[in-house]
Amino acid sequence: MPAHSFLLNGQPVSVDSPADLPLLWVLRDVLGVTGPKYGCGVGVCGACTSHLGGAAFRPCLHPVGDIAGREVKTIEGLADASGLHPVQEAWIAEDVAQCGFCQPGQIMAAVALLRRNPQPSDADIDAAMSDNVCRCGTYVRIRAAIHRAALLLRNGAGPRQG
């Protein structure tokens, strides 16, 4: 099997796997990174949302062979030595999580949204998060947490690149 090398949460990794193996399985089964969840496997639910080169993406849709040399960030790489990312802080403050299964993907999607749009409206949030399914239905708290995180970021909580 060929070796595939990329950056994962700021650290270089190399894995021996078939080039067509979805990155989600490489992350979870080969590298032991369990934040990105398997929900649907076809990019619909958003449970696996992570970042590729700083943009939100679904690792269930991308074969590891297409990731060579790129940077992947999962929820495990979001916090830094100074503490939680402002979106994570806001998630806790707004008591978003119930079962928590979808939360890593939701948080990573929210970080990407706030990077693109630091002052999103409710409509912006709803549009950006519409592809990240929450079975518990905490959408009102998710929206409140994103607004709180936007305020934290505007008031200097960071700087974090997410």
Q: In this structure, what CATH number is given to the domain that contains residue 131?
A: 1.10.150.120
**Looking at the domain assignment, is residue 110 inside a domain?**
yes
Q: In this structure, are 104 and 128 located in the same domain?
A: yes
Whole-number pLDDT of residue 157: 73
Is 94 found in the same domain as 138?
A: yes
What pLDDT does 158 receive? 61
For residue 55, the model assigns a pLDDT of 95
Kindly provide the b/e burial profile for residues 128-160, where b requires at least 16 CB atoms within 10 angstroms of the residue's own CB. bbeebbbeeebbebbbbbbbbbbebbeeebeeb
Range of the domain at 38: 3-77
Whether 162 is in a domain gets the answer no
Q: How many domains does the chain have?
A: 2
Residue 18 within any structural domain of the chain: yes
What parts of the chain have a pLDDT lower than 50?
A: 159-162
Query: Based on the domain organization, do 96 and 68 belong to the same domain?
Result: no
